Amino acid sequence: MKVAIMAAGLSGLACAITLEKFGIEPAIFEKRSCVGDRFVNGEILFSLVTRPIQDCIAYLSEKHGIYLHPAANLQKMTLYSPREQAFFEGHLGFTNVRGRESDGFEAQLSRQVRSPIQFHSEETYEGLLSHYTHMVMATGDGDYAKKTRNFREDLTVSLRGATVEGSFDRYAVAAWLDNDLAPSGYAFCIPLSDTEATIVIAYPDDPHREPPDPELLWDRFYERARSDLKQPLRITDQFQITHYPIGICRSARIGNTFYVGNCFGSLMPYLGFGQFSALLTGIYAAMDLAGEGNYEELTAPLRQSYEDSLVLRRTLERLDNSDYDRIVHLLRLGSRLIENEKINPLKTASFLLRPYVKWKQGVTS
Ligand SMILES: Cc1cc2nc3c(=O)[nH]c(=O)nc-3n(C[C@H](O)[C@H](O)[C@H](O)COP(=O)(O)OP(=O)(O)OC[C@H]3O[C@@H](n4cnc5c(N)ncnc54)[C@H](O)[C@@H]3O)c2cc1C
């Protein structure tokens, strides 16, 4: 068996580490000059979305021998709508660093890989196919799956973010639900350390509406973040991504090609969380290749989470700012429920919101 992994991001590296544990040495092809060769940003591993797994860092090490150090364990979250705010406390998950940093998740994973990584790769799927018996597609998008008509793209998202200097509680994040800042999307402030944070807005591209002015949204959000966080937030770096595809492949495996990470459909349509699922798909593909499981079956719960999250996204796209105020107000009253580790808040929220949105549709149609 000769396995090629196309790309050394989260899912590709998790796949390589797991294959090596089973005695298979893959060849890894990465188009960039080193692992994590992109802007630095903070991301979140939210236990709210990985439940029933409450501690995904411990789960990855104990169950799969993959060792990651987060930036911090997340203890607090403040959620802002235009006029309300709610506050959550407890073990909410972890924050971590991505991109060009020695502590970035990509760098941490690559230190656990022994197989050679070929950087600056210009290899194509078709080219690699003639030399390898099995292919793992881990390029972070649905491009190759789309080419073979194996990808259902559900939406694209535009993101704009910055690294800012200030004074932060590294165990706390802030989030905003406000259509004036990120229409049908969200904004976050995620500390990288006590003195640096990522601030970011992300919103779906709506093909049926005039696109919002990204500069205007960013200026509004920057002002709002400075006001809510009560500090000037000096910008030291900026990034922008347009039309980041979110979708899911129809088959997780076709022939001897495995689709992992975002190529599988790791990116959850509602809030764009995808890291944990990306790592799991890489691990599961390797398990299948090593004869330790069936990839389609192992990924079935991830596929279900994707579809649940899509329902929530489509539902929440109908909400206006006064709805957000009501929801955040209710969440404030129900914060104990969210903090309860036995409850899956996204599933519960999607269940509770549906009748309200139906009623809303009736009022506005
Ligand atoms: C700005 C931003 C913020 C995010 N925030 C969060 C968050 O807070 N929480 C969360 O859970 N998720 C978040 N996500 C999503 C999460 O980062 C992704 O779901 C996850 O990284 C997907 O892993 P992957 O392995 O599919 O792709 P990646 O980790 O992105 O890796 C893809 C790799 O493919 C390489 N590549 C691309 N094309 C080729 C090619 N043709 N040949 C070889 N190599 C190629 C790239 O260089 C890269 O190294 C965020 C994403 C972005 C962009």
* Ligand 1 neighbourhood includes 267 CB (under 6 angstroms): yes
DSSP H/E element including 5: strand 3-6
* Ligand 1 neighbourhood includes 197 CB (under 6 angstroms): no
Residue 144's domain spans which residues? Answer: 3-364
* Ligand 1 neighbourhood includes 226 CB (under 6 angstroms): no
Q: What pLDDT, in 10s, does the model give residues 143-182?
A: 888 888 899 999 999 999 999 999 999 999 999 999 999 9
Give which of 263, 337, 222 is closest to 15, Cα–Cα: 263
39-to-97, 99, 196, 214 alpha-carbon distances in Å:
10, 5, 14, 19
140-178 in b/e form (b: 16+ CB < 10 A) is bbbebbbebebbeebbbbbbbbbbbebebebebbbbbbb
Instruction: Give CA torsion, residues 103, 108, 114, 120, to 10 deg.
Output: -70
- Report the CATH number that the domain containing residue 72 is assigned in CATH: 3.50.50.60
Shortest-distance Cα residue to atom 48 of ligand 1: 9
Q: What is the pLDDT of residue 360?
A: 61
Distance from the first to the final alpha carbon of the chain: 58
* Ligand 1 neighbourhood includes 148 CB (under 6 angstroms): no
Helix, strand, or coil here: 168?
A: coil
**318 pLDDT tier (thresholds 50, 70, 90):** confident
Over residues 244-264, the mean pLDDT reads 96
Q: What pLDDT, in 10s, does the model give residues 92-146?
A: 999 999 999 999 999 999 999 999 999 999 999 999 999 999 999 999 988 888 8
Shortest-distance Cα residue to atom 7 of ligand 1: 43
Q: What is the DSSP string of 254-276?
A: ETTEEE-GGGTT-S-TTT---HH
Mutation pick for ligand 1 pocket among 262, 264, 309 (CB with most ligand atoms within 8 Å): 262
Q: What is the pLDDT of residue 308?
A: 86
Cis peptide before 82 (omega within 30 of 0): no
* Ligand 1 neighbourhood includes 275 CB (under 6 angstroms): yes
Q: What is the pLDDT of residue 186?
A: 96
**303 pLDDT tier (thresholds 50, 70, 90):** very high
Residue 260 has pLDDT above 80, yes or no: yes
- How many domains in the chain? 1
Over residues 199-209, the mean pLDDT reads 92
Give which of 334, 332, 355, 356 is closest to 343, Cα–Cα: 334
* Ligand 1 neighbourhood includes 30 CB (under 6 angstroms): yes
